[in-house]
Amino acid sequence: MIYSLDIETSGLDRFTDQILVIGVYSPSEGFCGFSSVAEFAAWNKPEYQYIMHSGSFDVNFIHHFGLDITSQLAYDTRSIASILCPWPRIAEGQKNAFGLENLNVVLLGGSTYKLDRSKMTSYSKEELWAYNKEDCEITYRLFEKLMALLPDKSWDFVESWLGPATRLCAELEYNGIYGDWKGLEEYKKEIEEIRKSRLETLTGLTIGPRKQWEMQQLKELKDAYETKSKIAVSKAKDPVKRAQFYQALYEKASSKIKAFNWNSPKQLVWLLGSYYNLDLLNKRTDKITTDDEKLKSLGHPVTKALVDYREVEKLLTQQIPALLDGVKADNCVHGRFSVGGTRTGRLSSSKPNLQQISARKPLGKKIRSFVQARPGYTLVTIDYAQIEPRLIAHAAKEPKLLTVFKNKDDVYSLFANEIFGLNETNFSKKHFAENYSTERACGKTAGLSVLYGTGAKKFAEMVLKETGVVIPETKAKKLVDTFRANLSSVVEFKQILEKRLANTNIVRNLLGRPICIEDNDDLYMLSLNTYIQSSASDLVVDSQANVIIPKLRELDIDFKHRLLVHDETVLELKEDEADQLVKELIIPLMTTGMKERWNLDVPIEVDYAISNRWEKS
């Protein structure tokens, strides 16, 4: 039996709020409401399946109060709607394309009906149950509508991948990440000192221009008040008194002029563009920009200092507070995960975004060390190695790429060889690191980007950023063209995708997910990387949702799935079991098992680390 299910709560935090009503609905049996999890548990049967909208919220609230129905979450209408091609439009007055209210309007022809979420406890039982009943009915009707809208191939994807992936997201959200948050508090103090030092460096480099900026603001302010004063004084009965009045206003306003704001795009454009005469134009978008990528390419002492300052500012205003503010009573931070909502189909994280914790920059990387295992357990971090170029090799049937992977050589060395025409036959990482370290660095940084569609100018910028080597644009174009010609099967596969998209706007990735690109101007840049990125992301999720987790449960292994970040997964296992489980079970399933599961033409490899702390493998 399948029902739609929805809950109403006193708030959004299961650790501090309460469930007010649990409602279920089916066309044959109508609506049934429950005032508590205990009442619902007495009615629920293991064979019942549920349709929910943003089901992680409902499942985890109910789980928190004693009943785990994660395995009974069969369909999530929000996730299903996110694979529609094209995406649903956003109705007037709505903010979220995949919100139940918006989908009710644009797909079912309904109207807005929401209660005030901040006042749920003020409504009567009758009002709450009537509202819950409507949500349940809309969710069921929306499910039927989506079944009618999606073709059979898309429903195959829903059944085989999207359902398990949605349940995986719910599990990740429920488990959260355990950590040494007191240690992170202490580290925050260290970062504050670093920020202070970097700000002093930045302000020391810009004493002159900042003073000029302040003087310019004072002049503009004074001119404005003088203009107003002249008009007012000329009409005043007491000109002296009126002039004094405006002078006092000016002095008060001028005293409030703030110091130069390093977070103000307008002020940065003046400083870097007008004062230092630096080129801030992004030629690809034809817009002025002060983003980090642009600043790094300028190579100016002030832009370097500004990028360094921004790094610690972001840690202190975004990443660290998001973690510390999110710690709950179980000593865990519980982020949200979504399998829909990004055009490439990559799994996304929010509130907080656990995927943005850097594994590359030392200061950000250390934040990972405060994510830890519980006593008696250890964290296993497993990272799919070079998954995107492997999938390119498989999809395009590119002989050179297939050979390098089958020989267990280094793909970035191959990229360097083909970009720079080195005529090498030994593609081992060691050989290239010893003889062509600069070229290999360029191959690693720019190889995939060039295959995805990056042009000569961007390629030259990436080489300059990575190695400091200046390549004229004409030479860069020749290198890019040669590289693509040397891997012609990839270019041909890309053209096939572009033709499909040009004809239908839709292409299906390796696992069957439908992908829609509506703007033909973006076909060249988006076709291949969207296909490959979504395939890689879906394959990583599939390895966990449909292979690893079911097997660990089948064997009654004590574990928690803590994180999934792009091509990296973090499991918590018993200390005395982890090493054997990883080597004898998990790694074979994620490599040979996934190669066979998807009939791939390339071997799949992983890197892994076993540690009490979250470490990059």
Q: Is the pLDDT of residue 605 over 90?
A: yes
pLDDT for res 493: 95
pLDDT in tens, 441-499: 999 989 999 999 888 888 888 888 777 788 898 999 999 999 999 999 999 999 999 88
pLDDT for res 253: 79
Q: Is the pLDDT of residue 64 over 60?
A: yes
Mean pLDDT of 163-187: 96
Concatenated DSSP letters of 470-483: ---HHHHHHHHHHH
pLDDT for res 298: 85
d(CA 449, CA 529) in angstroms, rounded, equals: 9
Mean pLDDT of 63-88: 94
Q: Is the pLDDT of residue 319 over 70?
A: yes
Mean pLDDT of 5-28: 97
pTM: 0.90
| Summary count for the chain: helices (H), strands (E) | 28, 17
User: Do 56 and 336 contact (CB within 8 A), yes or no?
Assistant: yes
Chain mean position to CA 366: 20
pLDDT for res 602: 97
pLDDT for res 453: 86
440 band by pLDDT with thresholds 50, 70 and 90: very high
521 band by pLDDT with thresholds 50, 70 and 90: low
pLDDT for res 341: 64
- Which residues of 354-410 form beta strands (DSSP E)? 377-384
pLDDT for res 10: 96
Asked, as a colleague might, if the bond just before 321 is cis with ω within 30 of 0, I would say no
Residue, of 354 and 593, whose pLDDT is higher: 593
Q: Which domains does the chain have, with CATH numbers?
A: 2-150 (3.30.420.10), 183-316 (no CATH), 337-388+537-611 (3.30.70.370), 390-518 (no CATH)
User: Do 479 and 420 contact (CB within 8 A), yes or no?
Assistant: yes
First to last CA, the chain: 44
Q: What share of the chain in percent tops pLDDT 90?
A: 70
Beta carbons within 8 Å of 10's beta carbon, 6+ residues apart: 17, 18, 20, 120, 121
Q: Is the pLDDT of residue 171 over 90?
A: yes
d(CA 191, CA 313) in angstroms, rounded, equals: 9
Q: Is the pLDDT of residue 526 over 90?
A: no
pLDDT in tens, 203-221: 999 999 999 988 888 888 8
pLDDT for res 503: 83
pLDDT in tens, 376-420: 999 999 999 999 999 999 999 999 999 999 999 999 999 999 999
